[in-house]
Each structure stands twice: as C-alpha cells, then as structure tokens.
Amino acid sequence: MPEADTAPSSGAPVIIGGAPGSFARKVLTERHPALIQQVRDAIPYGPPESQALHVLREEIEGGAISPLPVGAHGYEQWNRWGREYIGRSWFEVPFLWAESYFYRRLLEAVGYFEAGPWQGIDPFGPAKRAELRSRAVEEELAALDDVAGLPPEARDLAVLHGALWGNRADLGFRISSGRAAGADGGSEGDGEGGGEGTGRVIVDDSAVLWEYALPPGAVHVLADNAGRELTADLVLIDHLLHTGRAATVVLHVKPYPYFVSDATTADVVHCLRRMTRAPGHAAGVGARLWEAMNSGCLAVHTHAFACAPLPYAAMPGDLRDDLARATLVIAKGDLNYRRLVGDQHWPGTTSFAELTSYFPGDGPLIALRTLKSEVAVGLDAAALDALDASGEPWRTNGTHAVIQARRP
C-alpha cells in the first residue's frame, strides 16, 4: 500500500502552527530560530551554509514557505506533501507539517544531503554527543548497578520508568525550557528515572506491556531521542532480551537527523560505545546489546517514512508489513504519539485504542510519552477536569507522562 500524500484528518481540527498564543506558535517563533542559532554556534559552517541558515531564519520569521531546490533529496515527495502549503505563511499550515519541513529545510541549508564537505554531518551531533558525555548520563549508567540488585518486579518498573522519563531528555525541549543542552548534565533526580523536577504518570497501562511481553516475543521499538533517552531505551531493550520476554527486538530509528535529537543509527553506535566503556554493570549491558546486534537479536531499521510529516495512519505498505510482524510495539515520545493519534485537537477523553485501531499487528501498541505538545487522549473525564483546573500547562511542560496501551 503506498503512503497517503496528505494527513487523513477526520474527527477533530488539525493543530495549526500559528494560532495566536498557542504552544505551536511558540515553537515556530522561538524554538526554531533558537535552534538555527544553536547549530551555527556548534559548527563552523562556511559562507554558503551560514547564508542559507540566515535566509531560512528570515523566512520562518515572517516569509512565505519556499520549496526545496529542484533535484534536492526527496524533492518530489516533499513537493507533493507540501502542495497545499508551499507559498503560504509558516503560521497557517499544520503544525506537524511545519515542524517536519523546518527540519528538512535546515538539513538543506547545511548541505547534509549534497555531495560536498558537509554531507552526512549531523548539525545536532555536537549537542547529542555533549549529552552522552554529561553527568546525567554518567549517573544514570551508574544507577544500573543498583537496578541489577532489585527484585524482578522492581527491576521491571525501574527500566520501564527509565525509558518513560528518559523521554524528557529531549534537546529541543531543553532549549525552550531554558536549560542548557547536554553539557551540564542537569539531573536533579525525581526518583522516576532521570528527569527535571517531579513527574506524574497520568495513564498507566504498564500491566499490558508485562502481560504481552512473553517469550518468544518480537518487540519493535519506535525510537525517539538519542543520547540520554536512547540509553534508557537500550537498557529496556536489554532487559526484555535478557529476561527472555523478547527473542528479538527491532529498533526503528530515523534515517537522517530530525527534530533536534532524534536517534539515527550513528547515535545508536555512539550510545553503545558509551555504555560499553562505562564502569560497572552498564558495561555488561552494553556488551550484551553489542552481541545482540552481532547475532541479529537486536536489529536497527530505518525507513524514510520516519521523517515524513504524516501520521502513522498514512504509513506505506512495507513499513506496515514490518510492524505487523511485531508481537508488541513500543512507541517512544511525543512526536511518535502525535503521529500515532493524529496531530489534532482531540477531546482528552477520546479513546487511544480507537484512534490507533489502524495500527498493524496482532499485539499491543504501547506509547511511552512525556507530554510536550497539546495532543492528549485516553484520559478519564474526572482526571482531565482536575488537570485543566490545576492551571498548570500540563500538556506541554514535560511533567506529565502516559504509558498508554491499545490492547490486541
């Protein structure tokens, strides 16, 4: 089945980038310019790349959306996806499309796809690597010594919550929440697996995960961020393999840099090297994962659709077939969540299971996500009222999380 060209969007209004006072507008007007600056500060690009970044910044701050240059990587596909949006203002198009296209344009500006000196150089690489060297990662790896000694149920909980709250370690999120990316370490500790401040799980379907994570499982993980989050995800993957819950794991990563810190194959390698060189138990976990990659028990998959500005409902047939082989799918992070349910203003009580009923496979689909954008579904009415009454920006400030399941 070929992928759909545009987002199927029935049911609720699509989130538009520029709605005055909205979270989305803040991302477009504050986070994206700050990201361009971060990239310029991190890498000494030459005049063509610096000038292209300058032009992109001017465009996103008030200009009309330009097409990719003719012949650019994915030119035809992006033109198709953007045929209703190119030429318009960044503030009047769907937020998911605008963010996604911004990252594609940023890679264009820095010559990522073009034959030449900057080809394949990840503009977010310095920030990702700084995070891997951070005190926070060092402490989280050291904490594996204690996790190893826990009784089985507590160990299950620790690795699951590590992966869940690891999602808060997203370098884009840190830019807008005013925290330095990576270098400071930044872990104040919340007893929930490494995040800033305290966090609260507002939907907890983790029992579904443990119910269906059974031998000989074929688990697929849709990865999110590199560095700290990926380290925690790899610990969870090792745990599933090592305890026999999974015979194989497929880790789906991005084929190229995307959404600041999203994991690519290179990031998996950096993470595994970091783990194998750590003291204590972490090195053993890293070595097991390394061996699992060698033996094929842990495989890394990439698909172009991972960087498409579309919901998973529009996924192409080959990806659908791949995911249909899973006995359990774990989707990490905020962006994957938006793409799973559709980036729309759903009432918070809309059923997660119904919105994701199209997702392939006979096993459960489990979203592990800290909330960093406006979409939230599957909440009970009383909980939703209480959250709204709290006056907190609970949908976007990263202090709330869900472990949300669609049962088979």
Ligand X SMILES: O=P(O)(O)OC[C@H]1O[C@](O)(CO)[C@@H](O)[C@@H]1O
Q: How far apart are CA 237 and CA 298, in angstroms?
A: 9
> Which residue, 254, 4, 280, 282, is CA-closest to 107?
254
When binding is defined by CB under 6 A, the residue of 3, 108, 156, 170 that contacts ligand X is: 170
> Which residue, 333, 75, 353, 389, is CA-closest to 221?
333
| CB-nearer residue toward ligand X: 147 or 226 | 226
Which amino acid is it at 190?
D
**Residues of span 91-130 touching ligand X by CB under 6 A:** 99
| CB-nearer residue toward ligand X: 270 or 339 | 339
Minimum CB distance to ligand X, residue 229 (Å): 8
The alpha helices in 143-251, defined as continuous H runs, are 144-148, 152-166, 171-176, 206-212, 227-242
| CB-nearer residue toward ligand X: 372 or 406 | 372
By the rule CB under 6 A, 404 interacts with ligand X:
no
From residue 187 to residue 226, the character string flagging contacts with ligand X as x (rule: CB under 6 A) and all else as - is -------------------------------------xx-
Minimum CB distance to ligand X, residue 193 (Å): 15
> What are the start-end ranges of the E strands in 309-364?
328-332
By the rule CB under 6 A, 334 interacts with ligand X:
yes
By the rule CB under 6 A, 335 interacts with ligand X:
yes
Non-local (6+) Cβ contacts of 75 within 8 A are: 68, 69
When binding is defined by CB under 6 A, the residue of 182, 185, 333, 364 that contacts ligand X is: 333
By the rule CB under 6 A, 156 interacts with ligand X:
no
By the rule CB under 6 A, 131 interacts with ligand X:
no
DSSP labels, 295-321: HTSEEEEE-GGGGSSS-GGG--HHHHH
| CB-nearer residue toward ligand X: 172 or 217 | 172
Helices (H) and strands (E) in the chain, counts: 18, 7
| CB-nearer residue toward ligand X: 30 or 380 | 30
By the rule CB under 6 A, 373 interacts with ligand X:
yes
By the rule CB under 6 A, 3 interacts with ligand X:
no
Residue where the block lists tokens 């009309």: 64
Laid out side by side, the sheet with 400-406 consists of 200-204, 400-406, 365-370, 328-332, 217-222, 246-253, 298-302
By the rule CB under 6 A, 167 interacts with ligand X:
yes
Q: How far apart are CA 129 and CA 143, in angstroms?
A: 20
- Determine the interface stretch with ligand X among 138-146, 165-173, 197-205, 323-331 (rule: CB under 6 A): 165-173
Footprint of ligand X (CB under 6 A): 27, 99, 167, 170, 172-173, 224-225, 259, 333-335, 338, 372-373
